[in-house]
Amino acid sequence: MPNWEKVDVRLWKKDAREQQLLFYEKLGDRRWDFIEKKDWVVLQRRVGYALCGPPQCEDNACLGYSEDQYKLIDKLCNVIGKLGKSREKNQDDVWIAFLFVSVKMREKRMLIPIFKVLKTTTDDLVDQCQFVD
């Protein structure tokens, strides 16, 4: 059982709150983001920011990320796009939410981005989702 009052745990909680606030400010507070296929670069930029943080350079060919980072971003966006295609309407469009889990294990800290893709909404408004991490 963790001791929530230890200095390092309190510091981690403070840092986690600050990170969550930063993502809220950068990505917004909507339940879902609707991204049309024609705006695919918007999805790539948001996934890139979630995975790698802000772009490190002005190179638009790779959205400001290294070639390896861009390949990972593009691969993940393709998975997200395929998962979102099962919706009844707007087959090529994506409904997505960005979640971030802050983890502390002993001295290690991690921030894990999770992408929530809307598959369908039932008549009783229950969302059927697929999670990608």
Query: Where along the chain do its domains lie?
Result: 7-132
For residue 124, count CB atoms less than 10 angstroms from its CB and return exposed for 0-12, middle for 13-18, buried for 19 or more.
exposed
Are the C-beta atoms of residues 93 and 37 closer than 8 Å to each other? yes
The pLDDT tens digits of the residues spanning 7-63 come to 988 999 999 999 999 888 888 778 888 898 889 999 999 999 999 988 988 777 789
Q: Which residue has the higher pLDDT, 108 or 57?
A: 108
- When pLDDT is cut at 50, 70 and 90, the band that residue 110 belongs to is very high
Rounded to an integer, what is the distance from CA 3 to the centroid of its chain? 30
Are the C-beta atoms of residues 52 and 65 closer than 8 Å to each other? yes
What are the DSSP calls for 21-49, one per residue?
A: HHHHHHH-S-S-EEE-GGGHHHHHHHHHH
Residue 113 has pLDDT above 90, yes or no: yes
Helix, strand, coil content of the chain in percent (nearest 5): 45, 25, 30
How far are the Cα atoms of 30, 49, 52, 110 from residue 41, in angstroms, in the given order?
A: 19, 12, 16, 27
The pLDDT tens digits of the residues spanning 92-107 come to 788 899 999 999 988 8
| The predicted structure's pLDDT at residue 68 | 94
**DSSP structural state of residue 126:** P
